[in-house]
Amino acid sequence: MRFDVLTLFPAMFESPFAESILGKALEKGLIQLYAHNLRDWASGKHKVTDDMPYGGGDGMVMKPEPVANALNDLRVRQPGTRVVMLTPQGKPFRQADAEELSRLNGLIFVCGRYEGFDERIRTMVDAEFSLGDFILTGGELAAMVMIDAVARLVPGVLGSSGSALGDSYSDGLLEYPHYTRPAEFEGMKVPEVLLSGNHEAIARWRRREQLRRTLTRRPDLLAEAPLSPEDKKILEALRIECGSASS
């Protein structure tokens, strides 16, 4: 899968993707990442990419021409690539979005700076995403997060095809707790069921703990999670249990 990024600071993308799993994926050619300097598509001696807003106001606004020129060029090179704008006004980025985007051949990320984009740039993109209700100095960090979330789902990147299946949000719920050696640390013991070797009992425990963690930390997720009749029975018992513990 190919990732193209339009940014005024392409060097920001060098170190984060040179290490660990994504660094190895790049070396193997499982993914490709190209950070392009938006100024390369700007005109004039100074390659200006921003200007003062019409009507007055604070800050500068990113000009439409360099973005349009860049997207026209990249789309010719990579037909069918989807264009994503990073903006606080965009749709909240979720795991389901990462899964959908990971099935594409390529993505182009448009990273904003200054006060924001000329509104006409919005007509040039296919989707707008936000990481949350907060403001960053630019779209670069948001693009890095999205690339990481999408790239790890590309076949072969994580090594094991099942590595991402149990992640939080992969089935609409938070992930169950994990433990490793030692079996006891500072008086805290690993649950006996995980040491039993009984895989059926372990699976039941993990599902119960997954439901418990979601109920106590993100109960809002339960409204849309695909719950079985057995899950609902467990949740009912957990609600009683949690209510008794808090009273």
* Given 50, 65, 97, 115, the catalytic residue: 115
Exactly one of 16, 53, 64, 88 is catalytic; name it.
88
88 belongs to the catalytic site: yes
If phi over 0 gives left and psi between -120 and 50 gives alpha, with beta otherwise, what is residue 169? left
Tokens of 172: 């609409």
Peptide bond preceding 182 in cis form (omega within 30 of 0):
yes
Query: What radius of gyration, in Å, describes the C-alpha atoms of the chain?
Result: 23
Burial-class residue 145 by CB neighbours within 10 Å (0-12, 13-18, 19+): middle
Closest CA to 177 of 211, 223, 228: 211
User: Cβ(9)–Cβ(140) under 8 Å?
Assistant: yes
Is 119 among the catalytic positions?
no
* Residue 35: exposure state from Cβ atoms within 10 A (0-12, 13-18, ≥19): buried
Q: How many Å apart are CA 112 and CA 43, to the nearest integer?
A: 18
Confirm whether 181 is a catalytic residue: no
Catalytic annotation present for 115? yes
- Strand 82-92 and strand 106-111: pairing? parallel
Identified catalytic residue from 97, 167, 171, 175: 167
Return the active site residues.
88, 115, 152, 167
